[in-house]
Amino acid sequence: MPEIRVTPLGAGQDVGRSCILVSIGGKNVMLDCGMHMGFSDDRRFPDFSYITRNGRLTDFLDCVIISHFHLDHCGALPYFSEMVGYDGPIYMTQPTQAICPILLEDYRKIAVDKKGEANFFTSQMIKDCMKKVVAVHLHQTVQVDDELEIKAYYAGHVLGAAMFQIKVGSESVVYTGDYNMTPDRHLGAAWIDKCRPNLLITESTYATTIRDSKRCRERDFLKKVHETVERGGKVLIPVFALGRAQELCILLETFWERMDLKAPIYFSTGLTEKANHYYKLFIPWTNQKIRKTFVQRNMFEFKHIKAFDRAFADSPGPMVIMPGYCVQGTVGHKILSGQRKLEMEGRQVVITPTLPPPALSHACCDTAAGVMQVEYMSFSAHADARASCSCGQAEPENVLLVHGEAKKMSFLKQKIEQNSVGKPRRGRACEGGFSRACADRARHLAEALSTPPRGQLLYAANGETVTLSTSPSIPVGISLGLLKREMAQEQALKELGLAEHQLRFTCRVHLHDTRKEQETALRVYSHLKSVLKDHCVQHLPDGSVTVESILIQAAAHSEDPSTKVLLVSWTYQDEELGSYLTSLLKKGLPQAS
């Protein structure tokens, strides 16, 4: 019996070290290969022993796919390929391919050169790993082998982030990676075809969060920044160097310009500076506004933002704004969890979320401890609960939640009504059947009855395998007796008391022809008959011409007697042929000999 097996090796019911093993149609694909930033031992890497305990990884895995360049999705890649021993193809988009090694080397320097950590990959390993990468373009169907194909879709989130469809025969899985359904100031919204996969694997980072208006959050953010600067304080924004940094830089740059403010804005040198270079290089991946205006003014060339000066951090009155998710174990997570005293760089820092500006300033001047006022504002590029409920854009039959916390997944399960969910833990298996329509006819009837097929919505802990049977079953709401009988579509519709509706597209083509409409139609027939030898071209008694299901009629022009109007009509299924015929007729008809 055909089945799809999914085993999270990381980020099953947590955030960090995203890594998912998918077995589909006899093929094995690993989705992402991230590391957990909260650990400094082997726990930071996914448990690759779940892939295979016998034989080489390269013999077992058909390919590895990386969704984007964040380290919790690609950080373990050099370790996996150069130290564990995978030697097969690795697929990612061009921006991810360009930025990934920069982030990996930056983190390696911190972990090895500064902290002295062992069992870590080297600079050469990063280079050797990237040699195995195959870059893919959006909407490009890539044949991994004779049976396995993958296709990338725009995910928003960060530059180069992509959702991937994995297909073997009639079975398919879509992996969203991290995505964002809301366009921001530098990236567009995620988008995917109605590809109707058997299984959608999607993130649930903000499964219980429904954000307020983005415009309101931006206004609140700018107000707090402005107030702090006006009273002589400073604002520190700890944020990812790639993605959120550019988003907030564009927001601040625009506000500073509009308000004619003179206070300096600094960003960290090094990684953020390199990131800005790549954003300029990959303009086609940004949103429509930036693509339209970048020739006149590149939004990533900031006039008001300068390189960071470390001495600036020691002046009194800081406010820390954290515009995103903070992984467990980090300083940011401790602050947001309510911890009020921290040890940072040999100094004790007191966190005061409610102190008014005068008291805050006084405390900073009179004590040895630093005092910070902390505001949490979400500018995350992850989908919130509302957007996650829109994951049905691809019309999946089943949904598997990953990259989130178990309790939050349970909440999201209730919100996604067209599917249902399960959550396996490490070392345990979860099985469940799910439905694909028996035939297009059955799916059409199910939709007409407003009873779409129901599947499962699942979530799995690291190391737990989810098994889904891909055998066809009957959609809910369809009479079992009706589907057990073979009948024509017209008869099925009649028994259900439904009328069939057909959508057709019509395009007008103007031709200079002084002859009568019937003669023009005959000329069209003769021309198409000679050109389209592989198609059935007919001239009907009413004077119209058909090419397969495409209908062509000639009519008089309402104002110009020497012009005839050809009405070319086709169904959605014949859109390609209809467009070709329209282009062909627009070139005109050959002159009669």
Which residues participate in catalysis according to the annotation?
203
Per DSSP, the residues of 515-535 read S-HHHHHHHHHHHHHHH-TTS
Rounded Cα distance, 100 and 81, in Å: 14
In angstroms, the first-to-last Cα distance of the chain is 64
- Three-point CA angle 402, 408, 411, nearest 5°: 110
Neighbours of 432 (CB within 10 A): 15
- Three-point CA angle 129, 130, 131, nearest 5°: 90
- And the tokens for 298? 């590149």
- And the tokens for 422? 């399960």
Contact indicator for 242, 158 with CB cutoff of 8 Å: yes
Helix, strand, or coil (residue 403) = coil
Rounded Cα distance, 246 and 298, in Å: 12
Per DSSP, the residues of 142-159 read EESSSSEEEEEEE--SST
Q: Which amino acid is located at 62 in the chain?
A: D
- Angle at which helix 244-259 crosses helix 214-230, to 10 degrees, equals 60
3-state SS, one letter per residue, for 203-258: ECCECCCCCCCHHHHHHHHHHHHHHHHHCCCEEECCCCCCCHHHHHHHHHHHHHHH
Rounded Cα distance, 458 and 469, in Å: 14
